[in-house]
Amino acid sequence: MAQLNMVQAINQALGDEMARDDRVMLLGEDVGRDGGVFRVTEGLQDRFGAERVLDTPLSESAIMGAAIGMAAYGLRPVPEIQFMGFTYSAFEQLFAHAARIRSRSRGRYTCPMVVRTPYGGGIKAPELHEESTEAIFCHIPGLRVVVPSGPYTAKGLLLAALRDPDPVLFLEPTRLYRMLREEVPEGDYTIEIGRARVARAGGAVTVIAWGSMLERVLKSLGDIDAEVIDLLTLNPFDVEAVLSSVKKTGRAVIVHEAVKTCGFGAEIAATIAEEAILYLRAPILRVTAPDVPVPLAKLIDQYLPSSEQIHAALEEVLKY
Amino acid sequence: MSDELLASFEVRRLSVLNELGELDQALMPQLSDADIWRMYEAMVLARTFDERAVALQREGRMGTYPPITGQEAAQVGSAFAFSADDWIFPSFREMGVHLFLGYPIPQLLQYWTGDERAQKVPERLNIFPFCVAVGSQIPQAVGAALAARYRRDPVAAICYFGDGATSKGDFHEGFNMAGVFKLPVVFICQNNQWAISVPLRGQTASATLAQKAIAYGFEGVQVDGNDVFAVYRATQLALDKARSGGGPTFIECLTYRMADHTTADDAGRYRSAEEVVSWRGKDPILRLERFLANRGQWSAEKGGEVKARMTAIIDAAVQEMEAFPAPAPAEMFEDALATLSPRQAEQRKVR
């Protein structure tokens, strides 16, 4: 099996699916000739042609809106929004249309598309290039939100997303793009959307994380007997996996790099409180970024949850 | 060094039938007597539908409704040029298009009672659901045109919007992308001169809306939107161009919203009665009747007969619509997603 990084794994998934299904088309800013600003789509335009790997004008709302029209027509477009912070100008298309067209038309029109966007902090990039606003997207019924945590999950989840009949927001943690290398099977495999994965089994405390924070959590455990849940899909998140682990350990710590207030950790904590409070031995803790705009490079390391903060939270809940 | 003129442009306005029902024979598109009569009946049907919809709202039998009266020529004239496989992206004030294309009338009424099941468009029609978010359907039409070209289908996308939509970002983004990729799409603006209370002069400093297309690299034309022949001719030419690889066209139909923005609006608060009265003489149906009468094909009696027939059609549709069973509460979960999440499935059970 080949050792791939996440950029290579995503590239492979896109190429394989385009070869398999002529409905799959890529569109976005610089995705073709340039191979994307992170080179995720490198070589795909040479392989599949400029009509299938379409360099668009700098126009996020039109990219998203056009993808909706293409999906309704019967294609499977994969719009790339260059950075998560630039999805904001495409909100109306995503929220008012992509997520609702199936419902609005009672199933006559659907929107099978995968919106790919790099997200998260830690790459020393300019403003709005390190956003982590995934919770906003989870508030929209009709839109699935998926976050891989490494090359293996990236390929399997992306292949599943490309075959999903509904729109999927596929968040690619930029910090991990070239940081991790994993064995990635060359052949076809999918990871079911809506299912979490136990990244590390344990008994004393449940840690729930996703995306780039998973890597940091796994490095922060020390000798703590933690069970680490890699959520993989945020909407719909795997309630059963979270609850069964928390019922076993009696403790829950949620780690995300987004701000605390109304972060997705709040939804998880509320669900645990509603459905498993009698199993808890300690308060549910959240380790998150502070409630301020994402700072630029000089302070990004002080903004993102650190290993020390994660470890301290685990020790805190273990006091109970 | 130089200071030279790089480009200059002209904007054309097309008018075939004047207010007196007189024709410019040279500009008249090829239409048989039967075609013209079909246009006339479709316009009367649209007007009758509209009058009834407003009445039903006033009687508490229907929800908020946006009237189309005055815009029948822009709607019927354009729809007359469509092919069966074309894709249509409406806003929410094109019921005349729906009616002409044969959208089931009870279902069309049902939508305005607040029943989403009405938007399940019949399979034979490629018409998108109503788009309430102004202008946001424009990039979607562009995407459908992209998909059609990718599939090598001889299909055009047609996108309707109002004058207000030309101020939105999606107008710019959609027009720009359509121009860059030279796509088979026809943009039809029903410039009815009012976006709720904001008149056209408050919407743009541009002398015409049509000229906005020039900046995107394709043709924009203004037509007399109350002249069904002019609208048909412009749409037909634009569709021929789209299908032969000539790219997009923008048609500005200059018309007038004779009624309130919706049944929840009172246009008397912001525009003068004189202005409305001045547009009555330009009524698109009246104009076509004058034309037909000049040819000896229309009389008050014949007009009355058409009106009675259309009224009977609408009567039957209202009756059928009101007999539809109310949606079950669980209906809101239908088609939320292809597969409901466990949480959604739980929520559905208790509804």
Q: Which domains does chain B have, with CATH numbers?
A: 12-349 (3.40.50.970)
Rounded average pLDDT over A97-114: 97
Cβ atoms of residues B247 and B182 within 8 Å: yes
Rounded average pLDDT over B246-264: 97
Chain A contact for B145, CB < 8 A? yes
Residue A268's pLDDT band (cuts 50, 70, 90): very high
d(CA A152, CA B94): 49
Question: Is residue A6 predicted with pLDDT exceeding 90?
Answer: yes
d(CA A3, CA A119): 23
Per-residue tokens: B53: 């919809």
Q: pLDDT tens across A230-267, in order? A: 999 999 999 999 999 999 999 999 999 999 999 999 99
Of B143, B337, B344, the CB nearest to A68: B143
* Cβ contacts of A107 on chain B, cutoff 8 Å: 120, 334-335
**One fold for A2-184 and A197-318:** yes
Q: What is the pLDDT of residue B131?
A: 97
DSSP character string of chain A = -EEE-HHHHHHHHHHHHHHH-TTEEEEETT-STT--TTSTTTTHHHHH-TTTEEEPPS-HHHHHHHHHHHHHHT-EEEEE-SSGGGGGGGHHIIIIIITTHHHHTTTSS----EEEEEE-S-S---TTSS---HHHHHTSTT-EEE---SHHHHHHHHHHHHT-SS-EEEEEEGGGTTT--EEE-SS-----TT--EEEE--SSEEEEE-THHHHHHHHH-TT--EEEEE--EEET--HHHHHHHHHHHS-EEEEEEEESTT-HHHHHHHHHHHHHGGG-SS--EEEEE-SSPPP-HHHHHHHSPPHHHHHHHHHHHHT-
CB-based contacts of B179: which residues, under 8 Å, 6+ apart?
B216, B217, B218, B247, B248
Of B121, B142, B148, the CB nearest to A108: B121
Of A52, A105, A110, the CB nearest to B120: A105
Chain B contact for A65, CB < 8 A? yes
Output phi, psi for A146, to 5 deg. Answer: -125, 140
Q: What is the pLDDT of residue A314?
A: 98
Output phi, psi for B333, to 5 deg. Answer: -90, -15
Q: Please judge whether B170 and A106 are an interchain contact, meaning their C-beta atoms are less than 8 angstroms apart.
A: no
Rounded average pLDDT over A165-179: 97
Question: Is residue B351 predicted with pLDDT exceeding 90?
Answer: no
A51-68: burial string, b at 16+ Cβ within 10 Å, e else: ebbbbbeebbbbbbbbbb
Write the CA distances from B174 to A54, B153, B154, B178, integer angstroms.
16, 21, 21, 6
* Cβ contacts of B343 on chain A, cutoff 8 Å: 236, 239
Q: What is the pLDDT of residue A162?
A: 98
Q: What is the pLDDT of residue B229?
A: 98
Question: Is residue B163 predicted with pLDDT exceeding 90?
Answer: yes
Output phi, psi for A269, to 5 deg. Answer: -65, -40
Chain A contact for B176, CB < 8 A? yes
d(CA A148, CA A233): 8
Rounded average pLDDT over A179-189: 96
Question: Mean pLDDT, chain B, as a whole number?
Answer: 97
Q: Please judge whether B146 and A64 are an interchain contact, meaning their C-beta atoms are less than 8 angstroms apart.
A: no
Place of tokens 């709202």: B57
Q: Which of B78, B75, B215, B91 is nearest to B156 (CA)?
A: B78
Does the CA dihedral B304-B306-B308-B314 come out positive or negative? negative
Of A62, A92, A106, the CB nearest to B174: A62
Q: What is the pLDDT of residue B329?
A: 93
Residue A308's pLDDT band (cuts 50, 70, 90): very high
State the nearest Cα–Cα gap between A256 and chain B, in angstroms: 23
Q: Which of B111, B132, B92 is nearest to B257 (CA)?
A: B92
CB-based contacts of A17: which residues, under 8 Å, 6+ apart?
A24, A158, A159, A162, A163
State the nearest Cα–Cα gap between A76 and chain B, in angstroms: 10
Half-sphere exposure of B77 (CA within 13 A, CB side): 37
State the nearest Cα–Cα gap between A238 and chain B, in angstroms: 9
Q: pLDDT tens across B89-98, in order? A: 999 999 999 9
Q: What is the pLDDT of residue A228?
A: 98
Of B140, B147, B180, the CB nearest to A97: B140
Q: What is the pLDDT of residue B345?
A: 95
* The one catalytic residue among A97, A129, A256, A311: A129
Question: Is residue A1 predicted with pLDDT exceeding 90?
Answer: no
d(CA B165, CA B109): 25
* The one catalytic residue among B12, B58, B270, B295: B270
Q: Which of B121, B115, B113 is nearest to B97 (CA)?
A: B121
Chain A contact for B187, CB < 8 A? no
Window 50-109 of B: residues touching A by CB (8 A cutoff) are 87, 89
CB-based contacts of B152: which residues, under 8 Å, 6+ apart?
none
* Cβ contacts of A103 on chain B, cutoff 8 Å: 116, 334-336
Task: State the pTM of this model.
Answer: 0.97
Question: Is residue A9 predicted with pLDDT exceeding 90?
Answer: yes
The correct CATH number of A197-318 out of 2.60.120.560, 3.40.50.920, 3.90.79.10, 3.40.50.970 is 3.40.50.920
Q: To 5 degrees, how large is the angle CA B57–CA B63–CA B66?
A: 80
Q: Please judge whether B87 and A105 are an interchain contact, meaning their C-beta atoms are less than 8 angstroms apart.
A: no
State the nearest Cα–Cα gap between B129 and chain A, in angstroms: 6
Domains of chain A, by residue range, sit at 2-184, 197-318
Q: What is the pLDDT of residue B337?
A: 95
Rounded average pLDDT over B270-293: 96
Three-state secondary structure readout of chain B:
CCCCCCCCCCCEEECCECCCCCECHHHCCCCCHHHHHHHHHHHHHHHHHHHHHHHHHHCCCCCCCCCCCCCHHHHHHHHCCCCCCCEEECCCCCHHHHHHHCCCHHHHHHHHCCCHHHHCCCCCCCECCCCCCCCCHHHHHHHHHHHHHHCCCCCCEEEEEECHHHHCHHHHHHHHHHHHCCCCEEEEEEECCEECCEEHHHHCCCCCCHHHHHHHCCEEEEEECCCHHHHHHHHHHHHHHHHCCCCCEEEEEECCCCCCCCCCCCHHHCCCHHHHHHHHCCCHHHHHHHHHHHCCCCCHHHHHHHHHHHHHHHHHHHHHHHCCCCCCHHHHHCCCCCCCCHHHHHHHHCC
Rounded average pLDDT over A24-40: 98
Q: Please judge whether B139 and A74 are an interchain contact, meaning their C-beta atoms are less than 8 angstroms apart.
A: no
ipTM of the complex: 0.97
Question: Is cis: bond before A236, omega within 30 of 0?
Answer: yes
Chain A contact for B152, CB < 8 A? no
Q: What is the pLDDT of residue A163?
A: 98
Residues in chain B: 351
Q: pLDDT tens across B71-95, in order? A: 999 999 999 999 999 999 999 999 9
Q: Please judge whether B170 and A51 are an interchain contact, meaning their C-beta atoms are less than 8 angstroms apart.
A: no
The count of other CB atoms within 10 Å of the CB of residue B3 is 4
Per-residue tokens: B167: 């101020």
Q: Please judge whether A66 and B344 are an interchain contact, meaning their C-beta atoms are less than 8 angstroms apart.
A: no
Tell which phi-psi region holds residue A258, choosing left (phi > 0), alpha (psi between -120 and 50) or beta.
beta
* Cβ contacts of B248 on chain A, cutoff 8 Å: none
* Cβ contacts of A71 on chain B, cutoff 8 Å: 143
- CATH for the stretch A2-184: 3.40.50.970
